[in-house]
Amino acid sequence: MSSGDERTENDFLGPVKVPAGVLYGGQTQRALNNFPLAGERSIGHYPTLIQALLQVKWAAAEANQQAHFLDKRVAQAIIQSADDLSEENACQHFPVHRLHGGGGTSANMNANEVLANASEERLGGQRGEYRWVHPNDHVNLHQSSNDVYPTACRMGVISQWPHLSGALERLRQTFQDKALQFCQAPRIARTCLQDAVPVTFGDLFGSYEALLDRSHGRIAQAVEVLHTINLGGTIVGRAVDVPDSYRNRIVPALQVVTRDIAYHEVRNLFDAAQNPDDLVAVSSALELLAKSMIKIAKDLRLLSSGPETGLGEIRLPAVQPGSSIMPGKVNPVIPEFVIQSSFQVVGNHTACSAALDHGELDLNVWESVTVFNILDSMQLLSNATIMLAKLCVQEIVVVEERGARNTSTIIPRLTDLMKSQGYSAVSQVCQEAGGENLKIQKLLEEKGWI
């Protein structure tokens, strides 16, 4: 029933008013009432998750039609609606708060209602009537939030990964190019922030390239594991709640819909309902990348410190004035952007770890905090790596005369002498000179060692 700008829908709690023109229904509206956005993000802010939910429903309609549980006309209406919504910006139809309670039920019902109403209209009905297509009886047939939502969460992360993968590859390649460009440029290695031995900037940039390559592989491996899904497990992993003729078809149907044959059913459905450690493993790999990015960005800040009283061994491109009061000052703002973005990723992983720690008994209901922090971390790292490559690393200039001067200092000389004169003999000179560089220099000259 509708009047004016509202329609009335009913569930077992009673009637609920829904805006007349929206595709979602009563349970989504209850979620909006219970979990107001108040300026925060909805599930609709995460396109890869919405796409995943639509694809799961599409696959379920296919499987139910093939198993003769859904009338072909109804199944095709759901499939076509899912396809159409996948092609357009469907995120506007998913206003549920991303951290809604209930273990994903509100997100699942949001998808069920949107597809039911879109299909209802396709078959000649009106939004909210559910005469031809019902959110629970048809769109959600042989499914539960316990298997739909965890599956969609994993699919959303898998779909997000290529963007971060490409950004990481670009930064890795940029460092590789810099390693080749400055393979002969001298620099002083430092341990404990003290002078050590001569190396090259090629060595340093090459080490960053290797670190990023290893990080990429670690994340890729963790993401690949997410293809193991519990779709068909329904309530807490009870496969007996769905007929075999549907269950045997649902994952193959998802493979077809997603064009990804890597999806396969988890070995233990009960384990999958309780333990999202595979998602947390992705978050952990992202945290390791974030900490690696912090190290790289901090190095760039140190090496470019100055311009007169710092290390000054490299120059970073000036991308904006560095002070509102000090003319000519330029700050390493891109590395600082990377560092702060990475701090946030570290914090996101803390939340993901808590979600794993606080699972109770037969269902972990905290997958929302896990998946959305992972998707946020992926976006933060994608943006940070793209900008670091584009506006910083690509234009780094090595101040070779500073590097040459630094590699001619006393510690590198003493280290070289140790090879010919022995550690004890060189140490004795340092002791006699009381650690004073000028005295060390004089004693070495007197001995004819330099």
| CATH number, position 18 | 1.10.275.10
The verdict on 233 and 210 lying in the same domain is yes
Closest C-alpha among 60, 66, 78 to residue 122: 78
Could you tell me if 278 and 184 lie in one domain?
yes
Domain boundary among the residues 87, 107, 141 is at: 141
The dihedral built from the CA positions of residue 335, 349, 96 and 36, taken in this order, carries a sign that is negative
CA-nearest of 368, 374, 343 to 163 is 374
Among 141, 160, 182, the domain boundary falls at 141
Alpha-carbon gap, residue 97 to 104, rounded angstroms: 11
The pLDDT of residue 170 = 98
- Rounded Cα distance between 20 and 4, Å, is 8
Q: Residue 373 is part of a domain; what is its CATH number?
A: 1.20.200.10
Q: What's the pLDDT at 434? A: 87
| Strand-pair category, 2-3 with 6-11 | antiparallel
d(CA 156, CA 46): 8
Is residue 245 one of the residues assigned to a domain? no
Distance CA 105, CA 147 (A): 10
| Structural domain includes residue 330 | yes
Closest to 344 (Cα-Cα) out of 289, 277, 389, 388: 289
Last residue of a domain, one of 86, 112, 141: 141
Whether residue 436 is found in the same domain as residue 381: no
Helix extents (H) in 191-306: 201-225, 244-258, 269-274, 277-303
Strands of the sheet with 14-19, listed across from one edge: 2-3, 6-11, 14-19
Same domain, 222 and 112: no
| One domain, residues 130 and 33 | yes
The whole-angstrom separation of Cα 439 and Cα 448 is 14
What three-state secondary structure class fits 447?
coil
Asked if 354 and 431 sit in the same domain, the reply is no
- Give yes or no for a contact between 2 and 8, defined as CB atoms under 8 angstroms apart: yes
State the pLDDT at residue 443: 85
Residue spans of the chain under pLDDT 50 = 1
Within this chain, do residues 418 and 398 fall inside the same structural domain, yes or no?
no
Residue 391 has which token pair? Answer: 């506006």
Query: Residue 7 pairs with which residues in a beta bridge?
Result: 2, 18
CB-based contacts of 134, cutoff 8 Å, min separation 6: 116
Rg (CA), the chain: 30
The C-alpha angle with vertex 352 and arms to 347 and 358, in degrees rounded to 5, equals 125
Residues 123 and 184 in one domain: no
Please give the positions annotated as active site: 323
**Res 316: pLDDT:** 97
Residue 254 in any domain: the answer is no
Q: Both 134 and 158 in a single domain?
A: no
Q: What is the DSSP string of 376-436?
A: HHHHHHHHHHHHHHHHTGGG-EE-HHHHHHHTTSHHHHHHHHHHHH-HHHHHHHHHHTTT-
**Contact in structure between 200 and 184 (CB atoms under 8 Å):** yes
Contacts of 35 (CB under 8 A, 6+ apart): 96, 97, 99, 100, 101, 106
Total domain count, the chain: 3
- Position 74 in a domain: yes
| 80 and 173, same domain (yes or no) | no
- List b or e across 107-121, with b for residues whose CB sees 16 or more CB atoms inside 10 angstroms: bbbbbbbbbbbbbbb
Q: Residue 4: its pLDDT value, please?
A: 63
The Cα 164–Cα 219 span in angstroms is 10
d(CA 62, CA 58): 6
252 belongs to a structural domain: no
What confidence score (pLDDT) does residue 366 get? 93
> How far apart are alpha carbons 258 and 160 in whole angstroms?
14
- Per DSSP, the three-state class of 268 is coil
**Angle formed by the axes of helices 277-303 and 145-181, nearest 10°:** 30
The per-residue pLDDT for 354 is 96
Give the tens place of pLDDT for each residue, 101-123.
999 999 999 999 999 999 999 99
Cα–Cα distance for residue pair 255/220, rounded to 1 Å: 20
CB 134 within 8 A of CB 116: yes
Structural domain includes residue 251: no
Those residues whose C-beta lies under 8 Å from the C-beta of residue 100, and which sit 6 or more positions away, are: 31, 34, 35, 43, 106, 107, 368
What is the value of pTM for the model shown?
0.94
Would you say residue 247 lies in a domain? no
**Cβ neighbours of residue 4 closer than 8 Å, sequence gap 6 or more:** 20
78 lies in the same domain as 52: yes
How many residues are recorded in the chain?
450
Residue 172 has which token pair?
A: 């890795």
Provide the domain limits for residue 440. Answer: 409-446
Do both 36 and 127 map to the same domain?
yes
Orientation angle between helical segments 47-66 and 105-122, nearest 10 degrees: 60
In a domain, 56, yes or no: yes
Share of the chain above pLDDT 90, in %: 86
Tokens standing for 439?
């005295």
